[in-house]
Structure 1
Amino acid sequence: MSGTTPQAGSNEGSGDQLSLNTTTTLRDSADVPPPPRGNVILKEMLRGSAVTTILAIFLALVVGGILIALTNEDVLTASGYFFQRPSDTIAAVWNAVYNGYEALFRGAIFNARGADFATQIRPLTNTLGFAAPLIAAGLGVALAFRVGLFNIGARGQMLIGVAVAGLLTFQLDLPFWLHIPVTLIAGIAGGALWGAIAGLIKARTGAHEVILTIMLNYVAYYLLLWMIRTPGLLQKPGTNQALGYATPESAQFPELLGPQFPLLDFGFVLVIVATLFVWWLIERSSLGMRMRAVGENPHAARAAGISVQRVYVYAMLLAGALAGLAGMNQIQGAVTTGLTETIDAGIGFDAITVALLGRSRAWGTFAAGILFGALKAGSFSMQAQDIPVDIVLVVQSLVVLFIAAPPLLRAVFFLPKTDAEKAAKSRAKAAKKAVTA
C-alpha cells in the first residue's frame, strides 16, 4: 500500500498542474483581442475569386507585354548595344508595350483618334458584337459545368443549329417579324437536340460526356460539310463549291444602333436575356437546385430522390440550346454571306475558356465574354502595330492558366491562403511527421 500512495499523489499533482496550465492558457487567450473587423474583411476580399480573377488578367497582360517587347524590332535592335546605352532599350520596351496595349484599347473600347463620336465608340460596339456568340456558347458550357458535366460539344451544337435553321427556314418567304423568330427557334432547337443526344447517351450508358461531345463535334462538322456540298440541301445555287445559302435579308438580326455600328445587332439583346434566364434557372428555380445538387455530389443527390439521369439530359439539352443561340448570332448577324463548315469560327472551344474564366456563373460568364470580345476586337488594331495576333491568344490562355491555379497567384502576389489550403498543408505536415516517426 505504501508503494502505491506516492504514485497516486503524483498523478493528482500532475492533474492539478495540467488544470493550472489550461486555465492560464485560456486566460491568456481571452486577453488577446480579436483581429479588427477591417482586417478580416480585407483578408476575405484578398481570398475571393474576384481579386484572383483581376490579378490573373493583370499577370497575363504583364506576360503579354513581355512577349510584345521580345518580338519588337526596335527592342531587338536596341538590345544589341544594351550595355552602352541601356536607356535606349528601356525606352524601346516602354514604347512597344505602350503602343501595343494602347492599340488594344483603341480597337476595343474607345478610339480617341476618331473624327466623330460615332467613330470613337464604334470599337466598343464591335466588342459587344464579338462577345455575343461567345457569351451564349459560354453560358451553355457553364451550365453543364454546374451539373458536373464537361461539355466540349458547343461547336457541334452550333453547327447543327446552323444546319437545321438553314434547311428549314432559309427557303421560306416570310416577313422579317416572322422570319427572324422562326429561324432563331429552329437553330436553338437544332442545338438543343444535338446536346440532348449526348445527355441521353450519358444518362443511359454512363459514357463519358467528353468523348461523346468530341465525337459529335466531328459528326456535326462533316454532316454540315456534306450538306453545303450537296445541291438541293444547303449548297448555294450556281456554284459547285462548299458554300451554303446566304442568310435571307428578312432573317437577319436588325442593327441596334444603325448601319454605323454593323456588328452590334439584336443578337446581343438575346444574349442578355439568355444570361438572365440561366441565372434564374441555376440560382432561383427548383430545377436549378437539383442541377447544383447533382453537380456537387451525384450520389448524394440520387439518395435524396433526384433523378440524376434526367438532370443530365436537361442540362445537355439546355447547353445545346444556348450553343444554338450562339450559332444564330453567327448566321443571323455576323456572317450572312453564306454558310460554311467553319461558321463557328472557333467559338465553340473559346466558350470553354469563357466559362472557366466566369467561374461557371451566369454573370461571370457574361463579363468574361465581354473581355474576350474586347481582346478579339482589339487584336485587329494591334496587328496594325506589327504585333502578332497570336500574342492575344497567348494572353487568353494565360488568363485561364492563372485562373485555374489560384495557389500560383497567391504565391506571386503574397495573398493569404484559404482555409482549405491551410488544412491541406497541415495534413501534409502531419503525414510527413507520421512517416518520419
Structure 2
Amino acid sequence: MPGSSTEFAAVGRFDNIHLGLSQEEALRILTLPEEQLESASDYYMAASHLINFPGGATEAALIGLVVDGGDQQSKRLARRKAVEVLGRLKVQEALPAITACLDSNDAYLVENTAWALEQLGCDDPGVHQRLIDLLGDEQQNRRVLIQSLASLGIEGALPSIRTLLNDPVPGVRGAALAAVARLSGRLDQVSALEDHLTLPNQMDRQSAIQDVIDCRAGQLLPSVLKAPVSPVFRMRAFKALWPESASRYQNLELLKTLDRLLLDDPDHLVLVHRYDDQPDDAFLIQEFFGTDFSRCYLALQTLRSRPPMLIWPLLRMRWQQEAHNDYGAHYFFIRLFGTIQFWPEDAKEVLQEWLLEAVETQRPQFMKSKPAAILALAALSPDVCALHVMRWLDPQQMPFWEARYAAAMAAMSLKMTCSLDPDPNPYVQARRVGSGADF
C-alpha cells in the first residue's frame, strides 16, 4: 500500500507482476461476491492489475469500486488501490467519486485520494479548501496532503503549511519546508533538509530526498548523493536535479558522479550507524537482510575486510537459503562479491554463475542488482565479462539503461572498443565516448 509520494513514484515498476491475468478476468473478479473469492486480496489484485488496461471498461469498474459502500476489509483495500489507479490513468471522469473519498474515515483512502487529486490536476477551490482543512487532523497523512497542495500550486495553503514547519514528525516537517519553497519561490529555508538526509529512520531519509526533489534544491545534490539509502533514491534525485546537457553541476562532474552512483561504495556515503564492538561474520551477513540501508552498507564495509576463505561458506549457505530470492540482500551480496578479489578457488565458478544470472534476471524487484552484477563480473572474471559486454550494451537486448551504463564502465576497464550505434540514453552515450572515469 503506497504511503507517500516517494512510494507512489516507484509503483510503475511492479505494474505487471500478475502475468497471465487478463483484463476480462480482473473485471470478473471485481463482480464476485466476497465469499466466492479465492483469496481476500483478490479485489486488490484485480484493481492493481487493471492499470495495464486503460479504457472505458477499466474506468467504469474502478469508479464502481470507489463508490461501492461495502465496508469489508477486502473492499476497503481495493478501494484505496482503485483511487490510486484512476489517478495514474488520469481519468478525469472519476473526479466526483474520488473527491467524495476525502470524507472517508479511512485515513489511507484519504491519503490516496489527495495523491490522486494531484495527479488529476484538480482545480476545484472547494476541494482545495477541504485538503487544507485536513491538515489540522493529526490522524491524516499530512505529508501527502502537503505534497498534493504544493504540487497543485495552492498558494492559499501557505499559512496552514507554515504552521507545520516545526512539526515533530520529520516527514511532515520536511514536506512543509519543500512546499513553502515551492509555493513562495523562496529557497532560504531548504538547507534544513540536509540534516534530514542522515536521520536515524530510513523512511525519513528517503522522504528527505523526495523533499529535495520536490523543491528543486539542486544545491543539496552533493549531500543527497551521500545519503545512506537505496541507490534507487539517489539516482532518482540525480536524474531530477542534474541540468540537461550539463557536464558539471554543484562542483560535481557528470561521469564521475554517475560512476560513483553505479559503483555504490559505502566509503562514499555518510553512514548513520557505527559498531561499538566488531560483530561476527554471521551477524554482518544477516544485516544484509535488514531494511535499513545504512546498516547494510556498514555491514558491507566491514565484511569486505574479512578473510574470503572464512566468509565464503557462510555466504554460500545464506545465498542458497534466502539471498537469491530476497532482493535487498541479493543486492548487497552482489556488491560484496565484486569488492573482494581473492575468493577461494571453488567459489569462482559459482560466483560467475550467480552474477550472470543476476545480470539476466527479468524480475522487476531485482533491477538494481543488474548493474552491480556486471561490475562485479568485470572485477572478478574479466574474460567472462568480455564475452557478454557487447550484448549488454545493446538497448534491444538490455533495455535497463543503468545496466548498459555499467556495461560501458566494464568495457572501458577491459579496454574494449565499442562499434555500436549511439545509445539512446544520453548518460550511457556520454560514458561510452567519455574519458577520465575512475575504475
Per residue, is there more helix in 1 or in 2? Answer: 1
Give the structure, 1 or 2, with the largest relative contact order (CA under 8 Å, sep 6 or more).
Answer: 1
Max radius of gyration: which structure? Answer: 1
TM-score range, shorter chain: under 0.3
TM-score (norm 2): 0.22
TM-score (norm 1): 0.22
